[in-house]
Amino acid sequence: MLVRQLFDLQTFTFTYIVAADFGKDAIIIDPVESKVDQYLKLLKELDLTLKYVFDTHVHADHITAAGKLRELTGCVTLLGQETGAACVSQTVSDDEKLIIDGVEFTVLRTPGHTQDSYCLYTPGMVFTGDTLFIRGTGRTDFQAGNPVDQYNSIINKLFTLPEETIVYPGHDYNGCISSTIWEEKRFNPRLAGKTVEEFKNIMDNLNLPNPKLMDVAVPANLKCGLI
């Protein structure tokens, strides 16, 4: 299994290129529009054919590269079925399977950060988008976010995955790159030992400023990043 984790310094976004091996088909998770050249170069170097782009949700902090990558490679773009982005090639729903060169990925519906938030699981690793971060979680105060849904998505879905599963988040603001379900169950300060009421209280009082690009990114991403 080949996993490449890429980082956008402007928005602290992780993008993942995943494939069964060199020379096979690939999926890109949460690509950033300004990094398209980097992705294309790496795909070429690793002899990968881009089959899918999966956005874990409609992002508010960066513009997706989904539309551009589809134009340039003919790949299929994916978003959860609750999305408002009519431009997407194909929508996915909870528990749907994607098979790429024999590797099975399971789509997990995990609303809370947004109502169209999804994670992608394959045995050994889960790509958690903005649902679960390392020792944190995605915010729930816009785009129809809901802390109770977020809590249920994490506790009743992500935390039921095998504990050794590697957590690859959509962002990190503290210099971490991966974690495991085992660690987050025990050490995530918003979740470990917390009731849903306690979690909601934390999330309702974060008082975060809106992302700098929000007014640009959301409308652009509803058009698959093609503006």
Task: Pick the piece of the chain touching Fe ion (CB under 5 A) from 14-22, 65-73, 85-93, 130-138.
Answer: 130-138
Which residues are CB-contacts of 198 (< 8 A; sequence separation ≥ 6)? none
Nearest-approach distance from CB 47 to Fe ion, in angstroms: 32
Residues 69-98 that bind Fe ion (CB under 5 A): none
SS3 215: helix
Closer CB to Fe ion, residue 116 or residue 130? Answer: 130
Q: What strand order describes the sheet that includes 90-92?
A: 2-8, 13-19, 25-29, 49-54, 76-80, 90-92
Closer CB to Fe ion, residue 59 or residue 109? Answer: 59
**# residues contacting Fe ion (CB under 5 A):** 2
50, 16 contact by CB (below 8 A): no
Is 184 a binding residue for Fe ion by CB under 5 A? The answer is: no
Nearest-approach distance from CB 123 to Fe ion, in angstroms: 26
> Alpha-carbon Rg of the chain, whole angstroms?
16
Task: Mark 6-20 as b/e (b = at least 16 C-beta within 10 Å).
Answer: bebeebebbbbbbbe
Q: Token pair of 129, please? A: 């988008």
Closer CB to Fe ion, residue 31 or residue 43? Answer: 31
When CB distances to Fe ion are compared, the closest residue is 130
Q: Which of 30, 33, 116, 130 binds Fe ion (CB under 5 A)?
A: 130
Residues 45-74 that bind Fe ion (CB under 5 A): 59
Residues 188-207 that bind Fe ion (CB under 5 A): none
Nearest-approach distance from CB 204 to Fe ion, in angstroms: 18
Nearest-approach distance from CB 117 to Fe ion, in angstroms: 8
CA atoms within 13 A on the CB side of 53: 30
Nearest-approach distance from CB 174 to Fe ion, in angstroms: 17
β partners of residue 129: 169
One-letter amino acid identity for 16?
Y
Closer CB to Fe ion, residue 8 or residue 130? Answer: 130
Nearest-approach distance from CB 59 to Fe ion, in angstroms: 5
Nearest-approach distance from CB 198 to Fe ion, in angstroms: 23
Closer CB to Fe ion, residue 43 or residue 85? Answer: 85
- With CA atoms as reference, report the closest residue to 2 among 45, 37, 32, 66: 45
36, 28 contact by CB (below 8 A): no
> What is the binding site for Fe ion (CB under 5 A)?
59, 130
